[in-house]
Amino acid sequence: MTTVEQTSSVRPARRAAVTNPGHGDIFTDHMFSMLWSPAEGWHQPEFGQLQNLSIHPGMIGLHYGQVAFEGLKAHRRADGSMVVFRPREHARRFQTSTSRLAMPELPTDIFMSAVNQLVAADQEWLSDHPAHSLYLRPLMFATDESLMLRPSENYRFLLMAFVAGGFFGDRVDTVSVLISRDYCRAIPGGTGNVKVAGNYAPSFVAQRQAQEAGCHQVVWLDAIERRWVEEMGGMNLFFVRSTGTGNEVVTPQLTGSLLPGVTRDALLTMAERLGYRTREERISVEQWRQECAEGTISEVFACGTAAVVTPVGTVRDPAGGDWTVGDGLPGPVTMTLRRTLMDLHHGLARDTEGWLHPVPTEQ
Ligand SMILES: *Cc1c(COP(=O)(O)O)cnc(C)c1O
């Protein structure tokens, strides 16, 4: 194991990162790497400086997409300590994702040890700015040098990190969404329920259409009936219904083509604790539009590790016009859930569910 000394050249970048981190471009200094082979299993753990890799042009992962990843965050608590949000759940989902692509599973203890090492080594990058965090990116890919159409025999696991600001900037504004009528993201029996690289490139043309239509994000419908709302391709969706007897927090049920978000799961529990009724059920586009018109659906928000909780203000549907959710501004239930989740991340609320993993650091 090697730990590389800080060089003075990284310090200005680190300071710049703290004021304006953006989302994905400012990497921290280190990475963890480990290899898998049929004979040795997981072996050769290395911790060192983030650096370029040398790969063969015929590497299987590059050609046939045997690549899976995760995304989780480390936060700085008010007392200065660092915590990672639900890392074991992310380790488990990573195992599900890699298995789906006929890749080996990374044991949870290796995942946890890599996370601990990286966050401890790069702790200077994690400021106490409430909107900032370290986004950790586990990645596994197939390394065999072969263009035979077959699963690789050898793999590499990497863990790297970047400094994250708000995904949509540091202010909480509502975002606008475009319902994709030309493309679909996931099919039953496909890979929509796992975090594999091949799910994301096909969504870029739809994301471009959204931007051309003046929207921030795409909403995906189910592939069979093109009617049921699924998710946003990097975020899950929630709907807030006002009923005579209080607020109901509703999210599309996991049908096998939605990604089971760790944030989605956490918010279902947190909503219950806050006294909202929760439901996982199918919701159609027509229902979404109609219930917004009637005022039954008063708020909609997106959630995910990157997006945290982000209110949705307007919807464009090329097949049925545009509509506004509530008054188009962030709603009270959305903002309560957002605040509750962020307070938990930053140690301002009690971790009743045991979701925060404290990162050990040597004094
Ligand atoms: C990562 C991701 C999410 C959000 O999952 P979290 O575990 O909450 O970060 C939602 N949808 C897709 C397609 C994703 O890749």
Average pLDDT for 83-106: 98
What is the residue extent of each domain of the chain? 5-165, 175-345
Global pTM reads: 0.94
- Cα separation, 71 vs 136, in Å, equals 6
3-class SS of residue 31? strand
Q: What is the pLDDT of residues 292-348, one digit of tens each?
A: 999 999 999 999 999 999 999 999 999 988 999 999 999 999 999 999 999 999 999
Tell me which residue has tokens 């921030």. Answer: 216
Minimum-distance ligand 1 atom for the alpha carbon of 264 = 8
Backbone phi, psi, residue 333, to 5°: -70, -45
Residue 282 confidence (pLDDT): 96
67 pairs with which residues across the strands? 141
254-276 pLDDT per residue, tens: 999 999 999 999 999 999 999 99
Query: How do residues 14-49 score in pLDDT, each as one tens digit?
Result: 655 667 787 888 999 999 999 999 999 999 999 999
Mutate to test the pocket of ligand 1, among 84, 195, 196, 337 (most ligand atoms within 8 A of CB): 195
**Candidate of 88, 185, 236 to mutate for ligand 1, largest count of ligand atoms within 8 Å of Cβ:** 236
CA atoms of 159 and 137, how far apart (whole Å): 6
Decide if 21 contacts 161 (C-beta within 8 A). no
Range 180-196 average pLDDT? 97
Could you tell me the pLDDT band of residue 6, with boundaries at 50, 70 and 90?
very low
Q: Half-sphere exposure (CA, 13 Å, Cβ side) for 301?
A: 27
Mean pLDDT of the chain: 93
Query: Mean pLDDT, to the nearest integer, of 161-168?
Result: 83
Quote the ligand 1 centre to 320 CA distance (angstroms).
Answer: 27
pLDDT at 16 (0 to 100): 55
Cα–Cα distance for residue pair 260/138, rounded to 1 Å:
17
The CA distance from 238 to 182, in Å, is 23
d(CA 94, CA 91): 5
* C-alpha neighbours within 13 Å on the C-beta side of residue 330: 14
The confidence score (pLDDT) of residue 21 equals: 80
Per-residue confidence (pLDDT) for residue 263, from 0 to 100: 98
C-alpha distance from residue 357 to each of 75, 81, 212 (Å):
10, 11, 41
178 CA → ligand 1 middle, Å: 18
Taking the centre of ligand 1 as the mean of its atom positions, its distance from the CA of residue 262, in whole angstroms, is 7
pLDDT of 70 strictly over 90: yes
Confidence of residue 5 (pLDDT cuts 50, 70, 90): very low
pLDDT tens digits, one per residue of 102-153: 999 999 999 999 999 999 999 999 988 888 999 999 999 999 999 999 999 9
Identify the residue whose C-alpha is closest to ligand 1 atom 15.
234
Mean pLDDT across 233-241 = 96
Coil vs helix vs strand at 115: helix
Pocket-testing residue among 73, 259, 337, ligand 1, by greatest number of atoms within 8 A of Cβ: 259
- CATH annotation of 175-345: 3.20.10.10
Architecture of domain 5-165: 2-Layer Sandwich (3.30)
Binding pocket residue ranges, ligand 1, CB within 6 Å: 71, 195, 231, 233-236, 259, 261-264, 304-305
Confidence of residue 3 (pLDDT cuts 50, 70, 90): very low
**Separation of alpha carbons 19 and 11, rounded Å:** 13
Average pLDDT on 345-353 reads 95
